Structure 1
Amino acid sequence: MTVMDAAALRRALADRLAEGGFLRSEPWRAAVEAVPRHEFLRGGFFEQAEGSGPTAWRPVPADERGWLERCYADESLVTQIAGTIVPGDIRGEILRAPTSSSTMPNLVVRMLEDLQVEDWHRVLEIGTGTGYSTGLLCHRLGDDLVTSMEVDPEVSRRAGASLGACGYFPELVVGDGLAGHKNGAPYDRLIATCGVLELPYTWIEQTKPGGIVLATLCGWLYSSELARLTVGDDGVAQGRFLGGQISFMLARPQLPPPLGTLPDLQTGKERAARLGADVLDDWDARFVAQLAAPRAQRISLTFDDRTERVVLDVEAGAWAALAQDGEHWTVRQGGPVHLWDEIEEHLLRWRADGAPTLDRFEILVTPEAQRITWPKA
């Protein structure tokens, strides 16, 4: 590898991002062309093992043929598995879930553009990860204006080493990003590179009036949207979703609980379903369903003669099992609340209002609560 090779790859990446409409301004283009993404991937990355399920991964070390070119592909690259395992720890394959990654460049750049920074803005980044996006912020604003938080000490340490190798020295904080970093507040901008079930009010408190918070809202049904909110003088933040089916790993404290032993799905009250479980295959509909049941998870169970789609809230002990017979669906429900009743109510009301797209939804965050609404028909 030569410096010329890497520089050419950065320019080519910038060209692709600009052509795709993700890179829209000269300062961020200069950052993409200057910050070497491969320096943040020196430890290698994981790729999905060929012919495997979605959680089987093999390491790609930095000396493997094609590694450098992959570093500048517009794809997310997994850098940690199961909370502690990095590529150098593995020979062969691992059947565990990813816990840290280098986000695909088009999403990194799109979010930085959407953050609407000015030269003098102080930024708090939640989720340092590899440090690549932190490096882009440092190039754009200067080290002194960038603070980045990471919950995992080892991930933060590796990011710090990579940033230092590139000549960037922002303030790196190890801690729970959901609590923000009060000592450095207030900030002009706050950006989160992890998904959250609810936007923490601490982020609003730590952002100046007129400042912007950019974060991805999601639930355990795994539909998510990027929200941009402006903080008001009264401490209330308001904004909208920006669209585009943005997806991030959830903040670790908000990961769903293990399913554990399933309830007896043959019990409960059965009725004809007004909506079938296939409605959740649609991204927008699934997001609306999450507003009704943000802590519900979904699984499929196959029996000898049928398949059932199950929605389950482990903490509440509530569940709904749906089965299809031709064009008709039935649902059995158990627990203290009827999950499918609530999901159907939300979805039917949304449809009655014309099924507006998620970029028309509005979000309001107060000290007491978060509220997401859609326009009426």
Structure 2
Amino acid sequence: MTDQAHLHQQLIDRMTTGGSLRTEPWKQAAAAVPRHDFLRGGYFRRAVGTDFTAWETVREGDPGWLEGCYTDESLVTQIAGTIVPEDIRGRITREPTSSSTLPSLVLRMLEDLQVEDGHRVLEIGTGTGYSTALLCARLGEEAVTSIEYDPWVASRARAALGHLGTYPTLVTGDGLLGDDLGAPYDRVIATCGVRTVPQAWVEQTRPGGLILATICGWLGSSELARLTVHKDGTASGPLLGGGVSFMLARPHMPPPLGLLPDLEDGKERETATAADLLNNWTARFVTQLAVPGAQRLTMERDGRTEDVLVDVDTGSWAAVYQDGGRWLVRQGGPEPLWDAVEDHLGRWRHAGAPALEEFTVRLSPEGQAIDW
């Protein structure tokens, strides 16, 4: 057995033992698709020895490149929307914009998609093409359509898939619009995060079909949802739990914060809702439902730490901090953000602080609603 084959088998064994790879058809698909073929352009890894997040490149042939391809980790393949490993010597500190998702999450989601032989699948976010290849290995390339927003990423994926002799339908465009030409699909799966599930995906899924998507927010909490499409054009289903996280679809990214408002120009009062609740994954998800347009930052001001929520579109803001044994909030702008947070978190706690698996997502032409 070659080093590559040995590393590949070790990864499959780990995913099987960990429970993300559960059924024989997907085990066969995982065995048929070598991950390193989708990472020949290299990847970025976190640089060590710095007090900030920096990235350095690992190229094909570098020590550790092949081993890294078969780790169960997400590997960054693009930074700042255009920068790829062959562009860089040394380190870079910009934000990642594309990656090869950790294989256990890819296979967990494919298992959760509940495909059957003969199903047609629409994938939103081709990325490197690894998950697309897995779908093709399971269902056949004629059953798979994949959409990628970034033309460069789409081109790399097309080449990698072609190198393996795999030719699904590949579309370069806005995945949020889906693929009306190929509809209806039996399954839709998104490998990017969305704030709200697009109605186009519902319209392009047959009644009884499933949509699997990660619902995210600008406060950094997200969860996988599996939605069943109904005959009346609506869809509903549970969050699946597990703290799944993906990069947001680019049109769903938050706007730049720009110049911050004057955080002294607001009304201050005591609050029973502590800011450290925002460090809890589920409480933060609930907070996003309360203030979907808010972004969070932490600031050191006047010798204290303040958690600040800012809604760029409305100009509303809230700064929460601890003073001795009590918590204070100062708010400004047209909408009192922390009042909405208190209301939602209060109702959630009054209901017994249910886990995200107890939440239900409902979609209709009027919009998206999430409750518990």
Q: TM-score, normalised by structure 1?
A: 0.97
Q: Equivalent residue for 2:6?
A: 8
Match of 1:314 among 312, 315, 333: 312
Conservation of the 8 A alpha-carbon contact between 1:10 and 1:32: no
Q: Equivalent residue for 1:354?
A: 352
Give the direction of change, closer, same or farther, for the CA distance of 1:21–1:143 in structure 2 (3 Å limit): same
Structure 1's unaligned 5+ residue stretches are none
CA distance in 2, matches of 1:353, 1:313: 28
In the alignment, residue 34 of structure 1 is paired with which amino acid?
Answer: A
Q: Equivalent residue for 1:233?
A: 231
Match of 2:125 among 119, 124, 127: 127
Q: Equivalent residue for 2:67?
A: 69
CA distance in 2, matches of 1:46, 1:328: 44
Does 1:47 pair with 2:34? Answer: no
Match of 1:303 among 294, 301, 304: 301
Q: Equivalent residue for 1:369?
A: 367
Q: Which moved more, 1:75-84 or 1:63-72?
A: 63-72
SS at match of 1:110: helix
Residue 276 (structure 1) shift: 1.4
Residue 53 (structure 1) shift: 4.9
Match of 2:114 among 113, 116, 120: 116
Q: Equivalent residue for 2:24?
A: 26
CA distance in 2, matches of 1:54, 1:234: 50
CA distance in 2, matches of 1:53, 1:181: 44
Residue 303 (structure 1) shift: 2.5
Q: Equivalent residue for 1:182?
A: 180
Give runs of aligned pairs for residues 167-206 of structure 1, distance below 5 A: 167-206=165-204
CA distance in 2, matches of 1:308, 1:12: 46
Residue 304 (structure 1) shift: 4.4
Residue 254 (structure 1) shift: 0.7
Residue 52 (structure 1) shift: 2.9
CA distance in 2, matches of 1:89, 1:53: 24
Residue 54 (structure 1) shift: 5.5
CA distance in 1, matches of 2:224, 2:292: 16
In the alignment, residue 287 of structure 1 is paired with which amino acid?
Answer: F
Does 1:215 pair with 2:213? Answer: yes
CA distance in 2, matches of 1:353, 1:201: 30
Q: Equivalent residue for 1:326?
A: 324
SS at match of 1:259: coil
Residue 16 (structure 1) shift: 0.4
SS at match of 1:84: coil
Residue 327 (structure 1) shift: 2.3
Q: TM-score, normalised by structure 2?
A: 0.99
Render the CA deviation track for 1:86-130: whole Å, top value 9, x for unaligned.
000000011100000000011000000000001100000000000
CA distance in 2, matches of 1:218, 1:294: 10
What's the Cα RMSD here? 0.9
Conservation of the 8 A alpha-carbon contact between 1:225 and 1:244: yes
Q: Equivalent residue for 1:273?
A: 271
Q: Which moved more, 1:318-327 or 1:48-57?
A: 48-57
Residue 326 (structure 1) shift: 2.1
Give the direction of change, closer, same or farther, for the CA distance of 1:319–1:234 in structure 2 (3 Å limit): same
Render the CA deviation track for 1:122-150: whole Å, top value 9, x for unaligned.
00000000000000001001110000000
Q: Which moved more, 1:44-53 or 1:16-25?
A: 44-53
In the alignment, residue 217 of structure 2 is paired with which amino acid?
Answer: G
Q: Which moved more, 1:288-297 or 1:6-15?
A: 6-15
Render the CA deviation track for 1:278-331: whole Å, top value 9, x for unaligned.
110000000000111112110011124222110111111110011111221100
CA distance in 2, matches of 1:149, 1:53: 37
Q: Percent same amino acid among aligned pairs?
A: 63
Structure 2's unaligned 5+ residue stretches are none
Residue 9 (structure 1) shift: 1.7
Match of 2:247 among 230, 249, 252: 249
Give the count of matched residue pairs: 372
Conservation of the 8 A alpha-carbon contact between 1:10 and 1:34: no
SS at match of 1:356: coil
